[in-house]
Amino acid sequence: MGSRHNAGNAGGQDDWVAVRRDAETGIETIRAHFRGHAYDLHDHDELLVGVTEQGVQAFRCRRRLHTSVPGRVILIEPGEAHDGHSPGEDGFTYAMLYLPVPLLTARSEALRSLTPRGTGLPLGFRDTLADDPGLAATIRSAFLALHQREGRLARDLSLDRLAARLAGHLAPPEERRALRPDRAAAVVRDLLHARMAEDVGLDELSAAAGVDRFRLNRAFRAAFGLSPHAYLVRLRLRTARRRLAEGEAPALVAAEVGFADQSHLGRWFRRAYGLTPAAYRDLCTNVPD
């Protein structure tokens, strides 16, 4: 568990991804190196915090292109779509923590105060990239404690320090007004969540929303930055990732989240996460497929 795997979607044979998952907290630690293309556009349920270690790391997030260099901190909220590539020949190396939001907010009064109950507002970062050497050092410390399995005490102390540091980079609730999508877009989003595993068509979605398919597609893109199909694929991938981490078989997961078969899931999963579903399940559970 936690060994390196070649990233099959990446630009060169030297690309690799090393993943570990802490069973008690659900935190994942990932260290990876890519040349050229790294990941297609995707998102996560967790809060992502990481540091670029080597090279130039470019990615789209919040509908703009960001460029990170060694020592720069990357901060990505749950549900924020992002991809990744290297604009340079030498590629890039980064370390990242995938942090479940409830676990993080439980460790900091400051974080709890910025996510008041009943507002519907998630944790929100002011910026996607930060030049904060203290935070970068704290992220590295937490990453090493988890990735190298230094024990529960080292893990807990490093996570407490990280939660305290992150509070200074969060936007307060008044700066994170909940965006209300177009009614038709909201109806379709909710329908896709409710019927994720079904093979729904655009005509069916537009009928449910009460608008024609062209207006629906425009409204959905304006609200969520993706077509309904791309949104559905991301939703299925997030659900598949959770279930694989719990040890479920890739073939079963593929069928129950809406992919045609295991190969269909595998193509999308590798493009989004740099690993096959079976490899990811093995890393999380040490149960070979």
215-237 residue pLDDT tens:
999 999 888 888 999 999 999 99
pLDDT at 145 (0 to 100): 96
Residues in the chain where the model's pLDDT stays below 70 = 1-13, 109-123, 172-180, 286-289
Could you tell me the pTM of the whole model?
Answer: 0.80
pLDDT at 70 (0 to 100): 97
Identify the residue whose tokens are 């609730």.
173
CB 9 within 8 A of CB 65: no
**Using CA atoms, how far apart are residues 81 and 142, in angstroms rounded to an integer?**
24
Residues pairing with 47 in the sheet: 99
